[in-house]
Amino acid sequence: MNLPKSEEQLMLVLWKLKKAFMKDIVEAYPEPKPANTTIATLLKRLQDKKAVGFTKYGSVREYHPLIAKDDYFSSQMSGAIKNFFNDSVAQFASFFTSKDNLTDEQLEELRKIVDEQIKARKK
């Protein structure tokens, strides 16, 4: 699933809210908010794509994501890694850790996380 920017934006809002009524979505939208009907259109398109679903409370709809943020992001990442680093995670990591991409602190943080992950898997 690869969503256009505008729909991705709406998904971000919905992922944050987890579930929401129309007004909640509008409210949570970052400035500059698009017209109300614009959001509605995006919502509609996302429903067509099965990316968003809803539960009916009477005649009111409460929307919720049908795809997980993690999954979505994960697949975006894989794509990027495949394209830009011919599928080599090492190359990707290397890129990521070098240059000005991370501060010293963030790098230390990353090591900690990696270490913990390795430890966790060892068991």
Partner DNA sequence: TAAGTTATTCTACATTTGTAGAAACACATT
Partner DNA sequence: AATGTGTTTCTACAAATGTAGAATAACTTA
Residues that bind its own copies in the complex, under the rule CB under 8 A: 8, 12, 69-70, 73-74, 76-77, 80, 83-84, 89-90, 93-99, 101-102, 104, 106-111, 113-115, 117-118, 121
Distance CA 102, CA 108 (A): 10
45 φψ region: left (φ > 0), alpha (ψ -120 to 50), beta (else)? alpha
Tell the smallest beta-carbon distance from residue 25 to its own copies (Å): 17
Tell the smallest beta-carbon distance from residue 11 to its own copies (Å): 10
Tell the smallest beta-carbon distance from residue 7 to its own copies (Å): 13
Tell the smallest beta-carbon distance from residue 61 to DNA (Å): 3
Decide which of its own copies, DNA, none touches 99; Cβ closer than 5 to 8 Å per partner kind.
Answer: its own copies
Q: Say how many CA atoms lie within 13 Å of 16 toward its Cβ.
A: 12
Q: Does 42 bind DNA (CB under 7 A)?
A: yes
Percent helix, strand, coil in the chain, to 5, is 65, 10, 25
For its own copies, which is the closer residue by CB, 18 or 99?
99
For DNA, which is the closer residue by CB, 22 or 110?
22
- Give the dihedral sign, CA 96/98/118/86: positive
CA geometry: angle 9, 53, 56, nearest 5 deg: 125
